[in-house]
Structure 1
Amino acid sequence: MYLNCKTYFSYHYGTYSTEELVKQALSQQVRALALTNINGTPDVWEFVKLCREGNIKPLVGCEIRNDHRFSYILLAKNEVGLTVINRFLSLHKRDKTLFPDRPSLSDDVYIIYELNKFDPAALRANELIGVKPAEINKLYRVPVALYPDKFVVRQPVTFQNTRYFSLHRLLRAIDLNTLYTKLNPEDLAGKDETFKLESEIISTFEEHPTILARTNLLIEECGIETTLKTDKNKKCYTGSLQDDRDLLKKLALEGITKRYKNTTQEIEDRINKELKVIDKLNFNAYYLMVWDVIKFAQASNFFYVGRGSGANSIVAYLLEITNVDPIKLDLYFERFLNEFRTSPPDFDIDFSHKDRDAVISYIFDRYGEDHIALLGMYSTFKRRAIIRELGKVMGLPKAEIDRLVRNQQVRLPEDSWQRKIEQFGSLLLKFPNHHSIHAGGMLISEKPIYTYSAQEMPPKGFATSQMDMILVETIGLFKLDILSQRGLGHIKDTISLVKKNKGITIDINRVDDFMQDEKVAAQIRKADTIGCFYIESPAMRQLLLKLKCDDYLTLVAASSIIRPGVSQSGMMKTYIHNYHHPDQVKYLHPKMEDLLQETYGVMVYQEDVIKVAHHFGGLDMAESDILRRAMSGKYRGTKEMDRLQQKFFVNCEERGYPAQISLEVWRQIASFAGYSFSKAHSASFAIESYQSLYLKTYYPMEFMVGVINNFGGFYRTEFYFHELKRAGAKVHAPCVNNSELFTSIIGDEVYVGLIHIEKLNDSLKERILFERNHHGLFLSLKDFIERVQPGLELLNILIRINALRFTGINKKDLLWRANFMQKRAKDQTVVAVLFQEEEVEFQLPELYSNPLEEAIDEIEILGFSLGDLFSLADTNHAGITLATELPAHVGKEVTVTGRLVTTKDSWTKRNEHMMFGTFLDAQGNWLDTVHWPNSLVKFPFLGNGFYKMTGKVMEDFGVYAVEVRAMVKIGYKV
């Protein structure tokens, strides 16, 4: 009867979660249920799983709509039918074409039209007519009895009750971007699209037993038999399982001589153990496919980092998938792959943002688009978006919406629109909002990917599954993460710049040498790490200083300690203290000392969570891994989490642990397990950090240009130019005769790239470079205008940023001349001339400019100034303490001035808002501040610029900051 059910994966339409839909069916003792979401099958496998658990027969398909209007229902007879449906959906989404009014599909798919759309006599064997209970009175004109095999009951299920119908109306208004009061009836589901009792439906159709009989027969005919949680991935890399096994072993053995000077028994035993487990769990092909991607990347000179738990594998290390030696770091393979894991692991491979798409294209070409898809995901409604969307469709003024977004505690009258937003917003939380793309996951299946999922076609043009990560695991697909990060672009571009600028070839893989380099160690010790991957943020730089970090293992630990769970739980401070005073470490329990001696009694890595849960809390390895995944948000549902928590405490009680100790251990697990890294992941990050550090230490100017040209890092671009100048570079504003598209360096001379002049369109930038490269330098203003034809507005921008300073003319004078020349030429057709005309000469009064005007032009056009802004700040420096002088004033009150770099929000134990500030002082050194709630309320931050602050100097493990008591924003000198 229920052949047309939707969940909230009918985006902006349905209001049932998948679980709620099945629960409702269970409560009404429904024996069969069809999931038919609009133009998609995203939650099919969760639906199938839940139905099977409830002993309900799952039927699957979709509801086809064109321009928000119902067309027909597709219902799969079997797995082949689902494949046909998914392919049908995908092809139309890919080509962005309307669905046909009457599709021609195989007999493995039933097509159910609405009443009176087609003459039943003209329908094919797999075409049916769906009759809604509300349409029963329309059947008196329809010859139902003549076509007993053509009519079925169609009771749509879209929402739970009248309250959720109201939510449905709001969702439709959001989708159509209109006021909900302006919706037309055809924009909405019928008010009767609820879960009516089956007995009521049967009663409605009692005069049409043939329709009931045909509906029951359809239910019997359709079904889905796919086994969940079984391997659906590409089975072989070479063509046979044995050849895969042999090739992987051969590659691993060949890798020994590349990676190790001497082979030990420990290395051989580890390799043999891993190969045995990899083979037993059918992971040979997966390793080889990843190896194949790495070979392509190496041949293409693409920089990459293999990270995540995959770095726990020595076989991955030998195949050069990762660069972390698990023997050296004592990483255990079981964190990546073991017989107890309930979900498949995956390799995470980072590429430069410039190279990633080429790698993805290679994988699509290598294995065929029918077997490849990017992993999908979905964005959910969050509080701010809910308020804005609901406020908009309810007609609230923008100012009122902004006020609601800012203030969560606002008191609302019962009958207000704001109260309605609050009420319906609470229902909408966590609803899927729209389909999206996972950060890097790729699927490679043995059968066509359509067997499991329809595909979307995002703007970049790579087919993307409608399933998310959880559902991929439910059916048994592994993902390969091909990720993007800009740090690798920094490294690659720096190496190229050093080669071009200094003629030096850098082997960036000499990481072991970098780790022994005293200059690099000194760079870490003083936290001079701006621009370096993962270790440049204010919090990370402070941590490095507090740890006095200058070695690889400490940097590995720091990469995990900085994560929110460890830092916010107070364990970061404990770790720092214990690190400096190992003889004073107080372990919660002797068992904990055995487990956490390496990390001074603190759980730093995900491996620590697993070890403690298993050896201390008595959970088996599979349960310990589920615990880790559940806390990191990679496990859907809370039932299993609740069970594990209960079992943990029961086991602790049986082992005789004091209750307060068990509670504290669990608190520590829960506080950071979701944010911590695996040790191998941190180790991979630390290797890339060392590569960046080496380049910054020995080639600081080229390195900073590389950072700037990749537009990536913790800070805004202007602060990387600041670092560039500190490194000794002479930075010049853009110049049409010297600048390239990206920032360039010759010797120590740096020209800002034209790309930073955002108001210039791309075609003009290309014309400037083409003309200069093919026809020589520009000789005069007139020459530039005639050759490039920039137009008056864009020409003025170039002049204001001093990009035509090669003329030797004052830029105000140049603006007058340019406007005169452009107006003269405005109506003239541009043609080639045999002889150059003489430029019109005229005298202008002397036009003065001041440094503030120059700075304002740069800020307006580039987004930042290249000069010394501190000299323009409206303050004198008498009585001002500099950042380098803070150690001499610990505990004392000082006054400091700083140019704001960034802020970080935080909350006290009382949940009061506080902030941390990062500034540059007058000498260009970094200055840190703390703003407690009372101070922040009285003296809030007022945007970027200069601030004068008074407060007490505080010291924490050798790191100095000012506890701000008062703060005022400083303007510029006029």
Structure 2
Amino acid sequence: KMGYEGYFLIIKDIVDTAKRNGIKVGPGRGSSVSSLVLYALSVTNIDPLKYGLYFERFLNPERISPPDVDIDFEDERRDEIIKYVRKKYGENCVSQIITFGRMKAKAAIRDVARVMGLPYSEADEIAKLVDYNTLEETYEFNPAFKSLIDSKEIYKKLFEYAKRIEGHARHASVHAGGIVIAPSDLTEFVPLYKHPDDTVCTQYEMEALESVGLIKMDFLGLKTLTVIRKVEDMIKMKTPDFSIEKIPLNDKKTYELLQKGETIGVFQLESQGMREILRKAKPEKFEDLIAIIALYRPGPLGSVNINEFVARKHGVIPITYPHPLLENVLKETYGLILYQEQVMKIASEIAGFSMGKADILRRAMGKKEKEKMLAEEKDFIEGAKKKGVPEDVARDIFEVIKPFAGYGFNKAHAASYALISYQTAFLKAHYPLLFMCVNLSSEMGKSEELAKFVNEAKRMGIEILKPDINESEKEFKIVSDNKILFGLGGIKNVGDAAISAIIKAREKGKFKSFEDFIYRTSSKSCNKKVIEALIYSGAFDSLEPDRKKLLSKIEREEGKIKVSLFEDSDSQYKMESEIKATEKLEMEKKAFGFYFGAHPLTPYLPFIKFMDITNSSDLVYIEEAREINLCGFPADIKIMKGKNGVEYFQVEFEDLYGTFKVNVFGEI
């Protein structure tokens, strides 16, 4: 009917090719998971009939628009898929897509305020009141914003100037995953643009491409899929017929892990807030997990009381419904609205809307399109009255669903991501050593993330051994039933060239001494900086445990490493060379970016647990204006000066999981 058969078959070809080549593909993403055809073609892995997903959320017969199919591939091999598409469908017919960073409403206020010389605090106060898509809408519908703008002439000027630049492009870049395939040369349809990194992309954005008849698709790289594939490969060494796609969705051990909130490394469930919800809600089935994924979002969190959701789930308070007709729609979420699809179904059940018309209502609400919303509200109330629903009840229900249309989560997307969450939780519950080993390797180069996983492994009773120059590979590796050896790639300043040189030299036999290492490795790849990092990390401890002694031996002269071959027998040197525990901590901090063997806060751990302390790694998930407790020790202090000329201290603190900064003003 819509003529998208070819598009669907191209998507299937790409997904099938990835699977044939051992590239992990996600179970689906976004509204495309609602398509039964895509499920039948094995493009998606979620049965839309089983989980109540509506096709009209993906393709609406009453509002014809191009399909939007996003596919997740493991991030390390996503480029292989793009190369395949270029080769299969023609280099001249395939391109990535441009995207423009645009001046949004809040950014326009902040940028113009800065140019006008307004204090940051005033600009921030105004910007935070912007809660509609545009400044004009905010001024019209937000009385607090209007009142503040009208209070001063300079604010009125700020508002007028900001409106003029709002929506203008600030810079061009390449879309993270967008790909377009044309039936013939792309230059017959669109002009092309060459990015500074030599990537060729269209000069038109996605929306414009649709208007000229081209259909885009998103190929996104997801690190979690790489982790799943690597763990799966390791499992298959002992259990060849294992498949993550065949695991049961009612595994007791997996739900026990989820109920305890032990979800560091579990997709979408790592944050402190999410772990709290898991401990309270105690998911018992896959549908519970879908709801929790959807619940931890700005929209539902702002409108649904989490404690009420939990209390209803556990039978502490009775489950009630806005209207008896809504029981079937809201039963799985205990009488509360979480999903956009529920908004559509409510419009269908209460007002007799077709699912296509219900989706039009959802879109109008989501985009806060005033005229369309008024027209749809009239139809909603008239339709409800025909079904015997009193007008006042219909109006109340309409008001209830308004916020969820825009901010309620797409259930199809929640279901697909819940499946990845469940798969990673299953792997952590049943194969903890393999799971943690792969995750540690995946975070090399990111000190704070690596520290998080090292601490989690220790909590799980897994011992992380310091690197060893004769045993460590680039990545972390399992060396016994509960021990993982630190990977050389996790040491700061030790790059791929140095690691390759070390491993190649070891092919002729293990290093017998520090001097043997220097002699057998290239000074070009293993320079002084690399060797110092290896010493700091303890990689040479098996050859010579005295790290200060090794540091005293290396010199740099005309680009070459020179080593003193003579032992210093002076007793004073021996006394000074004895490494203190605090010095060892600082060395490891330099090598890894975090404290590895121990931590200055270790003696205070009982206090930290008692005081309900928020970890630095969870700060990104904490909403603004929420009071929290932090605990760390000062690592750095700077004197800063505000725009008003007043000086203040900026103190950087460290905890077990990373760093955070605190501004200390004079009045404190």
Same fold, TM-score > 0.5, yes or no: yes
Residue of 684, 687, 690 corresponding to 2:416 = 684
Residue of 845, 853, 863 corresponding to 2:583 = 853
- Counterpart position of 2:294: 560
Alignment partner of 1:913 is 2:625: yes
> How far apart are residue 695 of structure 1 and its match?
1.1
Does the 8 Å CA contact 1:564/1:672 hold for their aligned counterparts?
no
> How far apart are residue 555 of structure 1 and its match?
1.2
> How far apart are residue 452 of structure 1 and its match?
3.4
More helix by share: 2
Alignment partner of 1:813 is 2:549: yes
Q: Which has the higher mean CA deviation after the structures are superposed, 527-536 or 608-617?
A: 608-617
Alignment partner of 1:863 is 2:596: no
Does the 8 Å CA contact 1:566/1:604 hold for their aligned counterparts?
yes
- Counterpart position of 2:534: 798
Aligned residue type for 2:514: L
Distance 1:842 1:848 in 2: 14
Does the 8 Å CA contact 1:903/1:918 hold for their aligned counterparts?
no
The one-character-per-residue Cα deviations of 1:376-435 (angstroms, maximum 9, x if unpaired) are 3321125786578668878x7xxx98777766599999899x998776445323322122
Does the 8 Å CA contact 1:742/1:754 hold for their aligned counterparts?
yes
- Counterpart position of 2:265: 531
Distance 1:676 1:720 in 2: 32
Residue of 218, 221, 243 corresponding to 1:508 = 243
- Counterpart position of 2:35: 313
Q: Which has the higher mean CA deviation after the structures are superposed, 590-599 or 353-362?
A: 590-599
Question: Gaps (5+ residues) in structure 2?
Answer: 129-147, 633-649
> How far apart are residue 811 of structure 1 and its match?
0.6
- Cα distance 1:571–1:765, how it changes in 2: closer, same or farther (>3 A)? same
- Cα distance 1:898–1:374, how it changes in 2: closer, same or farther (>3 A)? closer
SS at match of 1:597: helix
The one-character-per-residue Cα deviations of 1:335-355 (angstroms, maximum 9, x if unpaired) are 334532422323222111111
Distance 1:737 1:620 in 2: 68
Residue of 463, 471, 494 corresponding to 1:730 = 463
SS at match of 1:481: strand
The one-character-per-residue Cα deviations of 1:525-563 (angstroms, maximum 9, x if unpaired) are 222221111222222222222222122121122222222
Aligned residue type for 2:618: T
> How far apart are residue 698 of structure 1 and its match?
1.6
Does the 8 Å CA contact 1:701/1:728 hold for their aligned counterparts?
no
Aligned residue type for 1:780: S
Distance 1:663 1:905 in 2: 35
Alignment partner of 1:281 is 2:2: yes
Aligned residue type for 1:381: M
What TM-score, normalized by structure 2, do the two folds share? 0.80
Distance 1:842 1:552 in 2: 66
Residue of 24, 39, 61 corresponding to 1:303 = 24
Q: Which has the higher mean CA deviation after the structures are superposed, 285-294 or 468-477?
A: 468-477
Q: Which has the higher mean CA deviation after the structures are superposed, 794-803 or 708-717?
A: 708-717
Residue identity (%):
28
- Cα distance 1:668–1:797, how it changes in 2: closer, same or farther (>3 A)? same
- Cα distance 1:475–1:797, how it changes in 2: closer, same or farther (>3 A)? same
- Counterpart position of 1:595: 329
SS at match of 2:553: helix
Does the 8 Å CA contact 2:536/2:590 hold for their aligned counterparts?
no
Distance 1:534 1:785 in 2: 45
The one-character-per-residue Cα deviations of 1:895-916 (angstroms, maximum 9, x if unpaired) are 5667644225766xxxx82145
Alignment partner of 1:717 is 2:450: yes
- Counterpart position of 1:10: none
Aligned residue type for 1:322: T
Structural mapping, 1:823-862, within 5 Å: 823=556, 826-827=557-558, 839-843=565-569, 844-846=573-575, 847-862=577-592
Distance 1:663 1:863 in 2: 57
- Counterpart position of 2:91: 369
Question: Gaps (5+ residues) in structure 1?
Answer: 1-279, 832-836, 884-894, 921-939, 948-966, 970-974
- Counterpart position of 1:340: 62
Distance 1:343 1:582 in 2: 45
Does the 8 Å CA contact 1:567/1:573 hold for their aligned counterparts?
no
What TM-score, normalized by structure 1, do the two folds share? 0.56
Distance 2:651 2:373 in 1: 41
Distance 1:334 1:414 in 2: 48
- Counterpart position of 1:698: 430
Aligned residue type for 2:397: V
Aligned residue type for 1:352: E
Distance 1:913 1:528 in 2: 27
Distance 1:711 1:881 in 2: 26
Does the 8 Å CA contact 1:701/1:727 hold for their aligned counterparts?
no
Does the 8 Å CA contact 1:902/1:917 hold for their aligned counterparts?
no
Does the 8 Å CA contact 1:313/1:336 hold for their aligned counterparts?
yes
> How far apart are residue 467 of structure 1 and its match?
2.7
Alignment partner of 1:615 is 2:327: no
> How far apart are residue 304 of structure 1 and its match?
0.8
Structural mapping, 1:93-172, within 5 Å: none
Residue of 652, 655, 663 corresponding to 1:945 = 655
The one-character-per-residue Cα deviations of 1:436-479 (angstroms, maximum 9, x if unpaired) are 33342322233433343223334665532233333334344333
Does the 8 Å CA contact 2:177/2:219 hold for their aligned counterparts?
yes
The one-character-per-residue Cα deviations of 1:48-103 (angstroms, maximum 9, x if unpaired) are xxxxxxxxxxxxxxxxxxxxxxxxxxxxxxxxxxxxxxxxxxxxxxxxxxxxxxxx
Distance 1:946 1:725 in 2: 12
Aligned residue type for 2:244: N
- Cα distance 1:461–1:799, how it changes in 2: closer, same or farther (>3 A)? same
Structural mapping, 1:175-574, within 5 Å: 280-305=1-26, 306-382=28-104, 424-458=161-195, 462-499=199-236, 503-505=238-240, 507-511=242-246, 513-570=247-304, 572-574=306-308
SS at match of 1:788: coil
The one-character-per-residue Cα deviations of 1:599-635 (angstroms, maximum 9, x if unpaired) are 33222222212112333245543332233345556x9
- Counterpart position of 1:148: none
Distance 2:225 2:621 in 1: 29
Distance 2:559 2:245 in 1: 62
The one-character-per-residue Cα deviations of 1:331-373 (angstroms, maximum 9, x if unpaired) are 3434334532422323222111111111111112111133223
Distance 1:366 1:629 in 2: 36
- Cα distance 1:897–1:672, how it changes in 2: closer, same or farther (>3 A)? closer
- Cα distance 1:497–1:392, how it changes in 2: closer, same or farther (>3 A)? farther
Residue of 475, 498, 506 corresponding to 1:742 = 475
Distance 1:450 1:424 in 2: 38
Distance 2:211 2:372 in 1: 15
Aligned residue type for 1:869: H
- Counterpart position of 2:403: 671
Distance 2:279 2:560 in 1: 65
